[in-house]
Amino acid sequence: MIEIRVEGAGFEYPDGTCALKRVDLVIPPSSTVALAGPNGAGKTTLARLLNGLLVPTRGRVLLAGTDTAKVPASRVAAQVGYVFQNPRRQVFASTIAEEVAFGPRNLGRTESEVDQAVRSALEDLDLTLRAEAHPYELSQSELRRVALASVLSMQSPVLILDEPTASLDGADHERLLRVLAGLRRRKATILVITHDMDFVAEECERMLILRDGRVAADGPPGEVFAAGPGAGLEPPSIWRMSRALDRPGICRGADLLESLRPGSGA
């Protein structure tokens, strides 16, 4: 398990764009954290700092006490898996099985361990029967599942998901929830970049909002919604419904139903 610590981190791109100004935060091991905010707030830049794709131009990022700027990016990526919003940016192998095997094989796992990791990831994402298909023969939905499987197979202690609920149908949404439950069982840390406030309310224990390259809010989703998440972030439907039913402050559907049961004391 890995603690993530960000100390005064900022990042400026070569063209002079300042994406992050000064970010301080700690993400304990086994957390499920939402990273939200308007477009251009710095969410993706922060995620790439955590994954080692970028290093801060000021401040530092520590993974289990190790400064990411002082170790190879490959070492950071082995600890922090990243599923891109657009799977075509990360899928490259000629078959699904080869794609999913690439990560664990390059981490130096034995072939037996690689085979087991591939089988498990394909089963989790219902891709076993498509193992020998070329990724670009797949639908966009299937391709997203391949990208997720290729990161799951590495069994990284930290996983970053970029807009994982975008354009999901019911079956894919259920698969995603099943994968998240499995990650929690093995005590992985999950960071979700998302605009989906309903998902945040139901699945995340903590919510970070970035605005203009800084952390504008940080806390349990209910507290952040109560304070007002700000422009462009609509409170979740259960939150709005709970207020209409005179049960303010409730974010999760199961909690709202429980509060409406006779004798609940609400």
Query: Average pLDDT for residues 223-252, to the nearest whole number?
Result: 83
Residues 183 and 52 in one domain: yes
Q: Based on the domain organization, do 185 and 163 belong to the same domain?
A: yes
Residue type, 151: V
| Residues 20 and 145 reside in one and the same domain | yes
Both 87 and 160 in a single domain?
yes
Q: Which two tokens stand for residue 155?
A: 């069994």
CA distance 123 to 118: 8
Q: Give the count of domains, the chain.
A: 2
Q: Which residue type is seen at 182?
A: G
For residue 247, what are the contacts with CB-CB under 8 A and spacing of at least 6? 256, 259, 260, 266
Same-domain check for residues 36 and 89: yes
* H or E element at residue 37: none
| pLDDT at site 264 | 64
Q: Are residues 258 and 161 in the same domain?
A: no
Average pLDDT, the chain: 91
| Strand residues in 109-229 grouped as ranges (E) | 158-162, 189-193, 206-211, 214-219
Tell me which of 124 and 89 has the higher pLDDT. 124
Q: Does residue 63 share a domain with residue 16?
A: yes
On the question of pLDDT at 226 being above 90, the answer is no
Q: 63 with 195, same domain? A: yes
pLDDT in tens, 62-102: 999 999 999 998 889 889 999 998 888 888 899 999 999 99
- For residue 259, which amino acid is it? S
Say whether pLDDT at 265 is over 60: no
| Per-residue pLDDT tens over the stretch 185-194 | 999 999 999 9
Q: What confidence tens digit (pLDDT) does each residue in 185-220 have?
A: 999 999 999 999 999 999 999 999 999 999 999 999
Beta strands of 74-173 (E only): which ranges?
80-83, 158-162
State in Å, rounded, how far the first CA of the chain is from the last one: 38
* Assigned token pair, 227: 């304070």
CB 11 within 8 A of CB 49: yes
Instruction: Quickly state the pLDDT bin for 141 (edges 50, 70, 90).
Output: confident
Asked if the model's pLDDT at residue 168 lies above 90, the reply is no
Question: Which domain does 257 fall in, by range?
Answer: 236-266
- Whole-angstrom CA distances from 36 to 25, 105, 215 are 15, 33, 10
pLDDT band at 180 (very low <50, low <70, confident <90, very high): very high
